[in-house]
Amino acid sequence: MQEDQLLKMLKDLTDAKGISGFEAEARKVMNTYIAPYADEVYTDRLGSLVAKKTGSQEGPKIMVAGHLDEIGFMVTSIDKKGFLRFQTVGGWWGQVMLAQRVTVVTENGEVPGIIGSKPPHILTPEARKKPVEIKDMFIDIGAESKEQAEEFGVRPGDAIVPVCEFTVMKNEKLLMAKAWDNRIGCAIAIDVLRLLKDVDHPNTVYGVGTVQEEVGLRGAKTSAALIQPDIGFGVDVGIAGDTPGISENEALAKMGNGPQIVLYDASMIAHKGLRDFVVKTADEHNIPYQFESMAGGGTDSGAIHLTANGVPSLSITVATRYIHTHAAILHRDDYENAVKLIVEVIKKLDKDTVSTITYS
């Protein structure tokens, strides 16, 4: 893929508005980019996108899943003065939310807004020292009344999306955007199918964009039930431990040092046979990688590996700064090396190899 085409794909994916439960726009973008490399594209009944590519022989089914949804908010009510009350959708830390721009997606179009609260100037000295609780925040869309907000098209249940346009930073290896969690996983799935387009591989590959990961790995459950894979890869973002104040005991990974092979998280223990096979493949092809373990959190692999009678699964992630905020940063090399690693692994996953991995 040419440079300008790659950057356009990443921009289109991350600029798309698609919080959990409202992934249609992001799904449409992913479909546009992955369809040319697939034999068939369809969805499950929750809306997860599945792009199927059959290899040179009938073999194991390999699922590569990134999730379409991003964290955001939902309108719950409109007060008399036209301010919106809202519910978080996905995990938010209140300290990163105030004064941030948002877009309310209505049936009549998009409405810009900003997250507000009481100004510190009128708070007591004690109150100023405490973080504002999310329940005390509101969204200002510039409406002068509830009626005017409704004239704008705003209704309870509307999605509210963070604002941060895709940006190539001055160091052009670093890319900033909203929704890297997890449109980078969707981009990896697209690129894996692209690089396998004219390559013989002894299996059937499914590039998947799942829905509602941020609220409970829901789309991974339904799409894996539909596919019934033999091997599963959850591709997502991980913690970058290279910013001030983070010790190596808290987070080891550094942007630019390769994709993360996740040994353990709250949703899954990595399948030992598959983990060892991926590490051996990376070493054989001189692809850099890092190990990661997280006491909390999880990826779609957590749902995939529990499908039917079990699916050997592994999470491969891209170290990313400031996840679950309006703007995150990742390193392009980590993305490209994640794609290379998964492609090289898939090339070798024939029936006998998968059987050996499964029972090792």
From the candidates 23, 70, 213, 214, give the one annotated as an active-site residue.
213
* Residues 85/138, Cβ–Cβ less than 8 Å: yes
* Residues 34/203, Cβ–Cβ less than 8 Å: no
Burial of 236 (0-12, 13-18, 19+ CB in 10 A): buried
Distance between CA atoms of 301 and 319, rounded to whole angstroms? 17
List residues bridging with 329 in a β-sheet. 176, 321
The secondary structure of residue 178, as a DSSP letter, is S
Backbone angles phi, psi at 303, to 5 degrees: -85, -40
Distance between CA atoms of 323 and 328, rounded to whole angstroms? 6
List residues bridging with 265 in a β-sheet. 268
* Residues 67/220, Cβ–Cβ less than 8 Å: yes
Distance between CA atoms of 78 and 149, rounded to whole angstroms? 8
Distance between CA atoms of 217 and 211, rounded to whole angstroms? 8
Is-catalytic flag, 70?
A: no
Q: Give the active site residues.
A: 213
